[in-house]
Every structure is written in structure tokens, then in C-alpha cells.
Amino acid sequence: MGKILEIYRSSENCPIRTVLDRIGDKWSILVILILGEEETMRFNELQKSMNDISQKMLTVTLRKLESDGLVHRRIFPEIPPRVEYNLTERGISLLPHIHSLSDWATKNIDGIRRSRAKSGN
């Protein structure tokens, strides 16, 4: 029995699940990757660059990332409002791991699509 499995069994306090439950949602990883490329972005810029996320889901996603200390939110007291987002130190430290995942995805997507087709999607 490996170390990871033992941690999992005490599932109350399992770090991996605590973290993955959050960034394992539909949009978080995407936001982190985008902010990793663009440094600083405003709300609408982010939304356009994701191109199919709703305002509500972007708000929810950013608030979660903010509360985990992965993304920083800076409000300018202007009208119309201006809010800028960027990765925190912690968010930046997560980037390479997500990049290695997305590199894997790019390399394996053809094989995966073929598998899905065989099994009737």
C-alpha cells in the first residue's frame, strides 16, 4: 500500500482531493492557463478569450480561484467598473504542472479520439 492511498483513505483531510475538487471543475484550469499567458486581464477580456463561458460561471470560477489564493483580483473604483485579474505566486507555481498535463493532452488527443470512436463515443 503506497503513501498516496493511505492519505486518500483519511479522506476528510486529503490534500489532493481538497485541491482537485476545486481546480477539477469545468473552467478553473482554463482560466489559470490563460492568465499564465496574458499576465493581467480584465473580466471581459477573459470571457472573450474563453469564448463560451457565461458571465455567471466566470464570476463563480474567479471567486473560487481567488479564495484559494491562486488568482488576485484588483478593483479600480471607476464607472463603468474595471477589475483586473492575475495569477498570484501560488497560481504561478501551479502553472508548470497544468502545462505538462495539457502537453500530454495534445500528444494523446488523436489516440483518445480513436478510442472514443471505437467504443461508440
Partner DNA sequence: GATTTTAAGTTACTTTTGGTAACTCAAAGG
Partner DNA sequence: CCTTTGAGTTACCAAAAGTAACTTAAAATC
Smallest gap from Cβ 18 to DNA, in A, equals 13
Asked whether position 81 contacts DNA by CB under 7 A, the answer is yes
Decide if residue 108 touches DNA (CB under 7 A): no
Between 54 and 105, CB nearer to its own copies: 105
Choose among DNA, its own copies, none what residue 77 binds, the Cβ cut-off being 5 to 8 Å by kind: none
Find which of its own copies, DNA, none residue 40 binds, CB within 5 to 8 Å per kind.
none
From its own copies, DNA, none, which one binds at residue 33 (CB under 5 to 8 Å depending on kind)?
its own copies
Residue span binding DNA (CB under 7 A) among the ranges 10-18, 22-30, 99-107, 113-121: 22-30
The residue to which cell 498570484 is assigned: 88
Burial-class residue 54 by CB neighbours within 10 Å (0-12, 13-18, 19+): exposed
Q: Report how many helices (DSSP H) and strands (DSSP E) the chain contains, helices first.
A: 6, 3
**Under the phi-then-psi rule, with left for phi > 0, alpha for psi from -120 to 50, and beta for the rest, what region is 54?**
beta
Shortest CB 25 distance to its own copies, Å: 7
d(CA 8, CA 5): 5
Q: Minimum distance from CB of 18 to its own copies (Å)? A: 6
HSE, side-chain direction, 13 A CA sphere, residue 51: 3
**In this structure, what C-alpha cell is assigned to residue 22?**
476545486
Residue 100, contacted partner among its own copies, DNA, none, CB below 5-8 A by kind: its own copies
Beta bridge partners of 83: 75
